[in-house]
Amino acid sequence: MRCPYCGNDDTQVKDSRPTEDSNAIRRRRICNACGGRFTTFERVQLRELLVVKKSGRKVPFDRDKLARSVGTALRKRDVEPERVERMISGVVRQLESLGDVEVTSDQIGEFVMEGLKGLDDVAFVRFASVYKNFSAADDFRSFLTELGNDERLKPNHDD
Protein backbone atom coordinates (compact mmCIF):
# COMPACT_ATOMS: atom_id res chain seq x y z
CA MET A 1 0.00 0.00 0.00
CA ARG A 2 1.44 3.37 -1.04
CA CYS A 3 2.09 5.97 1.68
CA PRO A 4 -0.11 9.07 1.16
CA TYR A 5 2.63 11.30 2.60
CA CYS A 6 5.80 10.29 0.74
CA GLY A 7 4.54 7.84 -1.93
CA ASN A 8 6.70 4.98 -0.67
CA ASP A 9 5.33 1.47 -1.33
CA ASP A 10 7.03 -0.03 1.75
CA THR A 11 4.35 0.22 4.45
CA GLN A 12 3.61 -2.05 7.36
CA VAL A 13 0.26 -3.06 8.88
CA LYS A 14 0.15 -2.33 12.62
CA ASP A 15 -3.48 -3.22 13.33
CA SER A 16 -6.39 -4.84 11.43
CA ARG A 17 -10.02 -5.07 12.42
CA PRO A 18 -13.36 -5.47 10.68
CA THR A 19 -15.51 -2.41 10.05
CA GLU A 20 -19.09 -2.00 11.28
CA ASP A 21 -20.58 -3.02 7.95
CA SER A 22 -18.30 -6.12 7.90
CA ASN A 23 -17.66 -5.64 4.17
CA ALA A 24 -14.24 -4.13 4.79
CA ILE A 25 -11.16 -4.43 6.95
CA ARG A 26 -9.76 -1.33 8.61
CA ARG A 27 -5.97 -1.39 8.68
CA ARG A 28 -3.69 1.03 10.56
CA ARG A 29 -0.43 1.34 8.64
CA ILE A 30 2.95 2.96 9.12
CA CYS A 31 5.37 3.98 6.38
CA ASN A 32 8.83 2.49 6.82
CA ALA A 33 10.41 5.45 4.98
CA CYS A 34 8.86 8.56 6.57
CA GLY A 35 7.15 7.09 9.66
CA GLY A 36 3.75 8.45 8.57
CA ARG A 37 0.70 6.69 9.99
CA PHE A 38 -2.51 6.26 8.02
CA THR A 39 -5.64 4.12 7.79
CA THR A 40 -6.80 2.06 4.83
CA PHE A 41 -10.09 0.28 4.26
CA GLU A 42 -9.79 -2.88 2.21
CA ARG A 43 -12.85 -4.67 0.92
CA VAL A 44 -13.96 -7.63 -1.12
CA GLN A 45 -15.49 -6.55 -4.38
CA LEU A 46 -18.40 -8.80 -5.28
CA ARG A 47 -18.31 -8.12 -9.01
CA GLU A 48 -16.56 -5.85 -11.47
CA LEU A 49 -18.90 -2.99 -12.24
CA LEU A 50 -18.67 -0.98 -15.45
CA VAL A 51 -19.75 2.64 -15.53
CA VAL A 52 -21.51 3.75 -18.70
CA LYS A 53 -20.66 7.42 -19.21
CA LYS A 54 -23.00 9.89 -20.90
CA SER A 55 -20.85 9.60 -24.03
CA GLY A 56 -21.51 5.84 -24.09
CA ARG A 57 -17.92 5.03 -23.12
CA LYS A 58 -17.55 2.25 -20.52
CA VAL A 59 -14.96 2.40 -17.75
CA PRO A 60 -14.37 0.20 -14.70
CA PHE A 61 -16.07 1.46 -11.54
CA ASP A 62 -13.52 3.13 -9.25
CA ARG A 63 -14.53 3.31 -5.59
CA ASP A 64 -11.60 5.63 -4.89
CA LYS A 65 -12.86 8.10 -7.50
CA LEU A 66 -16.27 8.02 -5.84
CA ALA A 67 -14.64 8.64 -2.44
CA ARG A 68 -12.61 11.55 -3.86
CA SER A 69 -15.67 13.26 -5.32
CA VAL A 70 -17.59 12.81 -2.06
CA GLY A 71 -14.52 14.11 -0.20
CA THR A 72 -14.43 17.18 -2.44
CA ALA A 73 -18.09 17.91 -1.70
CA LEU A 74 -17.41 17.47 2.03
CA ARG A 75 -14.20 19.54 2.11
CA LYS A 76 -14.06 21.65 5.30
CA ARG A 77 -17.34 20.19 6.54
CA ASP A 78 -17.52 18.67 10.02
CA VAL A 79 -18.66 15.14 9.18
CA GLU A 80 -17.16 12.09 10.89
CA PRO A 81 -15.09 9.93 8.51
CA GLU A 82 -16.95 6.81 9.67
CA ARG A 83 -20.27 8.28 8.51
CA VAL A 84 -18.72 9.18 5.16
CA GLU A 85 -17.32 5.66 4.78
CA ARG A 86 -20.72 4.13 5.63
CA MET A 87 -22.42 6.37 3.06
CA ILE A 88 -19.92 5.44 0.34
CA SER A 89 -20.26 1.73 1.21
CA GLY A 90 -24.04 2.12 1.01
CA VAL A 91 -23.77 3.63 -2.47
CA VAL A 92 -21.53 0.77 -3.62
CA ARG A 93 -23.93 -1.81 -2.13
CA GLN A 94 -26.85 -0.14 -3.95
CA LEU A 95 -24.93 -0.30 -7.22
CA GLU A 96 -23.99 -3.94 -6.70
CA SER A 97 -27.54 -4.87 -5.75
CA LEU A 98 -28.93 -3.50 -9.03
CA GLY A 99 -28.03 -6.91 -10.42
CA ASP A 100 -26.37 -5.57 -13.54
CA VAL A 101 -22.66 -5.37 -14.33
CA GLU A 102 -23.20 -2.01 -16.04
CA VAL A 103 -24.35 1.09 -14.16
CA THR A 104 -24.79 4.56 -15.54
CA SER A 105 -22.98 7.61 -14.23
CA ASP A 106 -26.47 9.08 -13.65
CA GLN A 107 -27.37 6.19 -11.31
CA ILE A 108 -24.18 6.75 -9.35
CA GLY A 109 -24.85 10.50 -9.15
CA GLU A 110 -28.40 9.98 -7.88
CA PHE A 111 -27.28 7.49 -5.20
CA VAL A 112 -24.52 9.86 -4.06
CA MET A 113 -26.91 12.81 -3.92
CA GLU A 114 -29.35 10.76 -1.85
CA GLY A 115 -26.53 9.76 0.52
CA LEU A 116 -25.19 13.31 0.86
CA LYS A 117 -28.69 14.65 1.49
CA GLY A 118 -28.73 12.71 4.76
CA LEU A 119 -25.13 13.55 5.60
CA ASP A 120 -24.60 17.28 5.03
CA ASP A 121 -26.77 19.90 3.29
CA VAL A 122 -23.85 21.99 2.04
CA ALA A 123 -22.02 18.98 0.60
CA PHE A 124 -25.28 17.89 -1.03
CA VAL A 125 -25.64 21.24 -2.83
CA ARG A 126 -21.93 21.31 -3.76
CA PHE A 127 -22.15 17.84 -5.30
CA ALA A 128 -25.41 18.70 -7.07
CA SER A 129 -23.83 21.82 -8.58
CA VAL A 130 -21.19 19.69 -10.31
CA TYR A 131 -23.41 16.70 -11.05
CA LYS A 132 -26.18 18.85 -12.54
CA ASN A 133 -23.63 21.16 -14.19
CA PHE A 134 -24.78 24.47 -12.68
CA SER A 135 -23.46 27.40 -14.69
CA ALA A 136 -25.07 30.41 -13.01
CA ALA A 137 -26.39 31.59 -9.65
CA ASP A 138 -29.94 31.10 -10.96
CA ASP A 139 -29.22 27.36 -11.27
CA PHE A 140 -28.52 27.28 -7.51
CA ARG A 141 -31.68 29.30 -6.78
CA SER A 142 -33.85 26.99 -8.86
CA PHE A 143 -32.35 23.90 -7.27
CA LEU A 144 -32.80 25.24 -3.74
CA THR A 145 -36.36 26.28 -4.53
CA GLU A 146 -37.09 22.74 -5.74
CA LEU A 147 -35.60 21.39 -2.52
CA GLY A 148 -37.74 23.74 -0.47
CA ASN A 149 -40.85 22.48 -2.26
CA ASP A 150 -39.93 18.81 -1.74
CA GLU A 151 -42.20 17.54 1.07
CA ARG A 152 -39.69 14.83 1.97
CA LEU A 153 -37.13 17.48 2.92
CA LYS A 154 -39.35 19.71 5.05
CA PRO A 155 -38.84 19.32 8.81
CA ASN A 156 -41.57 17.56 10.73
CA HIS A 157 -42.70 19.83 13.58
CA ASP A 158 -45.36 17.45 14.88
CA ASP A 159 -42.99 15.96 17.47
CB 82 within 8 A of CB 127: no
Q: pLDDT at position 23, please?
A: 67
pLDDT band at 21 (very low <50, low <70, confident <90, very high): low
pLDDT at 30: 95
Q: How far apart are CA 131 and CA 123, in angstroms?
A: 12
State phi, psi for 100 to the nearest 5 degrees.
-120, 150
pLDDT-based confidence at residue 22 (cuts at 50, 70, 90): low
Residue spans of beta strands (DSSP E) within the chain:
11-18, 24-31, 37-43, 50-52, 58-60, 102-104
11-18 sheet: strands from edge to edge = 11-18, 24-31, 37-43
> Under a CB-based contact definition with an 8 Å cutoff, are residues 117 and 126 in contact?
no
Mean pLDDT across the chain, nearest whole number?
85
> Is residue 153 scored above 50 in pLDDT?
no
pTM, to two decimals: 0.63
Mean pLDDT to the nearest integer, 56-78: 94
Q: What percent of the chain has pLDDT over 70?
A: 88
Residue 150 pLDDT: 62
Per-residue pLDDT tens over the stretch 93-150: 899 888 889 999 999 999 999 999 989 989 988 888 887 778 788 887 887 777 776 6
